[in-house]
Amino acid sequence: MISLEQRLAIYDLFAEYAACLDEGRLSDWLDLFVEDCIYRIVPRENYAANLPLSLVLCDSKDMMRDRVVALQEANEYNIHTDRHLISGIRFRGNASGVLQVEASYAVYQVDTEGVASLFAIGSYLDEIVFVAGSPRFKSKTVIMDNSCVPHAISTPL
């Protein structure tokens, strides 16, 4: 059973997740994960068929840090602004203090000329744990309904 306070804290976690990414605060985004986390982006077809191929796979927070540093310092990618819309947060289970949470998402991108387009849409399958009273992602599986995106996936979804 999940308490109302935990439920509200998890809603806040998702709101902060979206805000960190939309505002380009990638270091703050990293703080939303535990050290031994997993972050992956997978097409819905691969997920449904239980195929291991992911578009992005980080099996530790150190790998996520490397990706963030590359985005901030080294990589060149299409300059854009993201807007994450997260809805339908559903609590699917609690196994030994690890909460299974699912949500829907849509990510829109606006280019430097002000043209907006839907970039990605799908669902999050998350494992969330509480650390010192605050919820953190233990794993985040980003399932993309649109496995073909108009640009390379540079920033996190």
Q: Which of 155, 71, 66, 86 is nearest to 126 (CA)?
A: 86
Q: What is the pLDDT of residues 4-56, one digit of tens each?
A: 999 999 999 999 999 999 999 999 999 999 999 999 999 999 999 999 889 99
- Number of residues that this document lists for the chain: 157
Residue 149 has pLDDT above 70, yes or no: no
- Exposed, middle or buried, 79 (CB in 10 Å: 0-12/13-18/19+)? exposed
**Measuring CA to CA, which residue among 100, 93, 32, 112 is closest to residue 64?**
32
* pTM, two decimal places: 0.93
CA distance 80 to 131: 33
Distances (CA, A) of 3 to 13, 39, 81, 91, 97: 15, 26, 35, 11, 12
Q: Note the pLDDT tens digit of each residue in 93-132.
A: 999 999 999 999 999 999 889 899 999 999 999 999 999 9
Say how far residue 55 (Cα) sits from the centre of its chain.
Answer: 13
pLDDT of amino acid 75: 56
CA distance 87 to 42: 19
Q: Read off the pLDDT of residues 49-81 as tens digits, 9 standing for 90 and up.
A: 999 889 999 999 999 999 888 877 765 666 788
